[in-house]
Structure 1
Amino acid sequence: MPRQSNGLRLLGVVIILIQLIDFIIHVSTDQAEPIRIASNIVIIVWIIAALAGWLNARFRNISIAAISTYLVLNIIFLTQNGLTNPEQGGALRTTLFLLVSLTVALSALFTFHTSTSVD
């Protein structure tokens, strides 16, 4: 994979920061859910590997697999724990939806622009 532009590197860093913020929220609210943390780790490892140039020709396939795994892990979490959070008085898991949506959208953008620069 060719060297990414500064914009793509910045986008990768932003995606990693979102994962770290999500992790910090889990830990600081004493709600460290292993499946959600695993999903954060999947994205962090994928972005680091992409930015380091370790994925090369397999970039697109690995990107799709990483984003899909992230989504599946979060869907499993929601099916096991529900759309609302009893720890917050039954409120909708708004933060989860926001962070997952941001992660997926930015990850798709990162994948598209990186794949486009490879083609």
Structure 2
Amino acid sequence: MIYYNSKNNGFYDSNINDVPANSVEISNEEHAELLEKQSKGFVIKSDINGRPVAIERVFTNDEIILQNESLQQQLINIANEQIIILERAIKYNRARDADKLLLEKLELFTIDVSQVDLSDPDLTFPELPKKAL
């Protein structure tokens, strides 16, 4: 049988582990459902009766800023990789008009991305310009 202990916030299989006192028995289906939700970002906590429940994770302001900073840097890096190649094409007179336009859009994109409010929990970053065909 599967047990949940609210004090340790852990699951125990009675066939494998010693089960701590004050643990509550849960079904295999409940256990599987909780683990599935946990894999989707939910957090397992105990309710007032000591039974496990999956709740949506609430990020702190610092965590939101760190996540947004990471995504911001990824987007800038992707744009900068394309900018370097386009600048080289222009330098050697191998750029098409579409390349020059894309370069301008990418440079403006990096400015826009660098100026977003990273503390906004509902931040939507500007869309990365598409390469011209």
Indicate whether the TM-score tops 0.5. Answer: no
| Structure with higher helix content | 1
Larger Rg belongs to: 2
What range describes the TM-score normalised by the shorter chain of this pair?
0.3 to 0.5
TM-score by length of 1: 0.40
Which structure has more RCO (C-alpha within 8 Å, separation ≥ 6)? 1
| Structure with higher strand content | 2
